[in-house]
Amino acid sequence: MSQVISAQNLGKTFHAHGRTVHAVRDVSLSVAAGEAVGIVGESGCGKTTTARMLLRLEDPTAGRIVFEGEDITHRRGAALLPFRARAQLVFQNPFDALNPRFTIRRALAEPLANFGVPRAEHAGRIEAVMQRVRLTPSASWLDRHPHELSGGQLQRVVLARALIPGPRLIVADEPVSMLDVSVRAGILNLLRAARDELGLAAVYISHDLALIRYVCERTLVMYLGAVVEEGPTVDLIERPHHPYTRALVAAVPVPRIEQDRAPLPIKGALSDAPLVGPGCAFRDRCPAAFGRCAVETPPLRELSGRRKVACHLGDPA
Ligand SMILES: Nc1ncnc2c1ncn2[C@@H]1O[C@H](COP(=O)(O)OP(=O)(O)O)[C@@H](O)[C@H]1O
Ligand SMILES: [Mg+2]
């Protein structure tokens, strides 16, 4: 499979108000054409910062990003324009993503103009993308303004706006969290159809394991800026190895096959986690922590079946 994007050891440190925040400490991921990869973890674990680095909306402080075979880590300004057309963000809140004064037609024409698509092609591209997001007949939608559309219809326009430049990668950060449950599946199915038909690479960011299970073949679990577990989604949810993943899985009503591992209740809140240093970042909340966890940072080690885990439990070493 050809990798559309490949990121290695991404890190991001913010310095704000005299404080240093290690928002992302170590994230590596690759996404192939047609593949959907999920990133899950509780609020504040660095999901959005990771998404923004993948899209080069945020400069990484460590690591490397290769997109379609080219190292784009340090590319800036105009040199990033071709990448901007090929790597698109689907916004979380459709009400914020669209200019309220623009018609839908203008919202869709704007990215085409920005990326230098000749005017003669605009009407055809707009018609095609309206078909793709099932807002048809397009003539009944294109002259409307955002306030005349429902949340679900607006999210279709947001998706159309992301697809119209012809991206190879879509990054969706909590793509349906602002929508009614009743319209979520419709949007997710449209995204999936677009991915299948166009062979797009997709990254879905969510705190919601049920959503990730529905759309992603492979999933990374983040805890305090680092990947603690990854693997094929169904296998990871049904047989989580990391105590943190086990707690996440136990907290949501997804059907599980294996019942022999009792869910582990985690202690405290994210703010109780130890600051970065040697040892496992999860140890103070982990019901299974032992001596080694306080002194040695567990590396993300490979298991069988394309699984990886960063935990000393069960490590033969
Ligand atoms: N621009 C910023 N300046 C300072 N800290 C930030 C900034 N953006 C994010 N952070 C911090 O980085 C951490 C990760 O945030 P974020 O990536 O938004 O997590 P998530 O999307 O998983 O909720 C949080 O502690 C957050 O407060
Ligand atoms: Mg976020």
Domain limits, the chain = 3-220, 225-309
Q: Which CATH number fits domain 3-220: 3.30.70.100, 3.40.50.1220, 3.40.640.10, 3.40.50.300?
A: 3.40.50.300
Task: Read off the pLDDT of residues 193-230 as tens digits, 9 standing for 90 and up.
Answer: 999 999 999 999 998 888 899 899 999 999 999 999 99
Residues with CB under 5 A from ligand 2 (ion): 47-48
Q: Cα(167) to centroid of ligand 1, in Å?
A: 26
**Span 117-163, pLDDT tens digits:** 999 999 999 999 999 999 999 999 999 999 999 988 999 999 999 99
Q: pLDDT at position 172, please?
A: 92
Determine the straight-line distance between the first and last CA of the chain, rounded to whole angstroms.
33
Look at the alpha carbons of 246, 251, 255, 259 in this order and tell me if their dihedral is positive or negative: positive
Is residue 4 over pLDDT 70?
Answer: yes
Burial of 287 (0-12, 13-18, 19+ CB in 10 A): exposed
How close is the Cα of 44 to the center of ligand 1, in Å? 6
> What gap in Å lies between CA 294 and CA 52, rounded to an integer?
31
Of the listed ranges 61-70, 113-122, 192-201, 274-283, the one predicted with least confidence: 274-283
pTM over 0.75: yes
Residue 234, pLDDT score:
95
